[in-house]
Structures are given as structure tokens and as C-alpha cells.
Amino acid sequence: MTPKPGVEAAAARPDDHPGGHSTLTGITLKILSVAVFVGMSSCIKAAGTLPVGQIAFFRSFFAIFPIIAFLAFRGKLGTAFSTKRPFNHIARGVVGVCAMGLGFFALTRLPLPEAITLNYAQPLLVVVFSSIFLGETIRVYRWSAVAVGLIGVLIISWPQLTLLRSGAALGDQEVLGVIAALVAAAISANAILLVRNLVQTEKTATIVLWFSATASVMALMTLPFGWQALTPVQAGLLIASGFCGGLAQILMTAAYRHAEASVVAPFEYTSMILGVIVGYLVFGDVPTVHMLVGGVIVVAAGIFVIWRERQLGLERTRTRKAAPPQG
């Protein structure tokens, strides 16, 4: 699982998007990116219960290489790190790596479908935090979608919450995994608010590279707290997770160049289907009724939020066009 590592692409500035869009190409690239992200999560889960700082380092550091290669190919590497807001990038990196670490903790302790689906709480929490911290006006439609979506999260988590309430399994790793996944979603939602601020002045490539570099340094600082010696298989899986993360980021960014965000974003939820398939075939994770029912509710709520954002965007565009010229 990853705390929405495509938000930089989704929030890309207009000058990052060339003309000539192709909706089908954008959708295809989005689905490919989601598949690669699921592959990344599968590599991390297969590597076992390693220290989260160690996992975060490999995921962040080795993601830099495909991103740098892509930027060099496009001739944009020279200015990719250039910024006048380094402290904003570092703040975004610190918040993001905290969410990443908790997400990886959850991923190694929960079945793959549950770990992926619980992360869908993030876009719902973005709506809540946008109202609290940014003062955005949220009307009844989106508040209703958030409420319904969080009910879905509760349904997914209910088996573990029941164990926690009864006191029968306070040390159970799945209980800790659910808690970590939900906290990761909340922290990641705050990271998105920081990205929303950065995209006003920064390019997508700059945000991505600064985040990967900051996350790598932050994760490396956990080395004294007990990294484990890796087997060749574990090292290979973690390196592969990093390369998958970087490649998926490139595909994600390309997807948003070819089609509007409101068209592409709902295909994020194909990860639920892929997670169920991979979880069953590779890890023997059988999806529960709670996970399937709750997952459908959360996905429906998320898609409604995306649709509502599109409608509001169209209304704002019509208002601007109808406004009389100034002066």
C-alpha cells in the first residue's frame, strides 16, 4: 500500500500538460500505473515484516532512478530540483514519509485487499481536512459522501475492532495494522493539502523528486533503531518495490497529461480488484464479506466525491465565462 503516490500528478500545473489529449490513452496509463503500484505493494508484503523505516528507504531511494532517467530523456533533469521553497518540500516529505511508514506497517500485517481498501479513506478525509484547515466550503452532497464512505471503512474494520473491544487480542497484529492504515490515511490526507499548496508554484517533477529525496533521508535516519539484515530475496523485492514506485509515478503523471483528472481518477479503484486477485493468488488472502461490502461502499463514495468535484469545477468555469469583463 502507498499513501496515494500520485497526488502530485493529479495536481499537476497546467504547464505540465501538453495539448492533444487522448482520454483512452490516459485511462490505459492510469490502469497500468495502478497495476504497478499493486505490484509494488506485493513486493513489500512478500519481503516480510521488516522495520518500516528500512522499507521506506528502499521504496523512496530506488524510486529516484527511473524518475531521473525519465526526466533526463525528456530533457527536464537540469531544472527538476530547482525550487525557492525547500522548507515546504521538506515539510511535505516529513509528513509523507510518516504516512508511508504507517502504510507499510499495515501492509505487512493485513491481507493485501484490506490494506489497499482501507487507504481509500484518504480522499474522504481530504474533504474533511480541506474544510477544517483551508476553510473550503463543503456542501451537503460531499459531507454525505464522506459519512457514507466512513461507514464503509467501519464495515471493513469491524472484525478487528470487535477483537479490540473484547480485549481478546489487544496484541493482535491485524488490529495494529488496521489502526496504522487509518492513521496513515489521515496523515496522507494532510500531505495532499501540502501538495495542493506546492503545485501553485512548483512543477510536478520538482515535487516528486524532492519528496523521494526527503523520504530517503528521513528513512535512513531510522538505521540506528534496528534495521534487519536482508536475504538476497528480500533485498531484491525491496529494490523492485522502489523501481515499481518510480515507474508507477511516471505512468500516473503521463495519464493526467492525456486526460482530465475527473476522468482518470476513478480508475484508481481498480486497485481493489487487482488487490483481491493478487492477494488470493500470491498470498492466499481470501476476501471477507466485510471487506467486499465495505470496499464497494467506500469506492462508491469516493467516485461520488470525484464526480461532485467535476460538477463544481464546471459550475465555476461557467460563472467565470458569464462574468462581465472588468474595466
User: What is the pLDDT averaged over residues 215-238?
Assistant: 94
Question: Beta-carbon neighbour count of residue 168 at 10 Å?
Answer: 10
Q: What pTM value is reported for the model? A: 0.81
Share of the chain above pLDDT 90, in %: 31
> Max CA-CA distance within the chain?
71
Chain-centre distance for alpha carbon 279: 19
Residues in the chain: 327
CA–CA dist 63, 248 (Å, integer): 9
What does the pLDDT read at residue 44?
Answer: 95
E strands in the chain: none
Band (17; pLDDT cuts 50, 70, 90) = very low
CA geometry: angle 277, 282, 287, nearest 5 deg: 45
Q: H or E element: which one contains 326?
A: none
| Lowest-confidence region among 21-30, 157-166, 238-247 | 157-166
DSSP string covering 29-93: HHHHHHHHHHHHHHHHHHH-S--HHHHHHHHHHTTHHHHHHHHHHTT-GGGTT--S-HHHHHHHH
Q: What is the pLDDT of residues 116-161, one digit of tens each?
A: 888 888 888 888 888 888 787 778 888 888 888 888 888 888 776 6
What does the pLDDT read at residue 14?
Answer: 42
Average pLDDT of the chain, as a whole number: 83
What does the pLDDT read at residue 326?
Answer: 56
- Asked if 105 and 172 touch (Cβ cutoff 8 Å), the reply is no
Q: For residue 180, which amino acid is it?
A: A
User: What is the pLDDT averaged over residues 19-48?
Assistant: 86
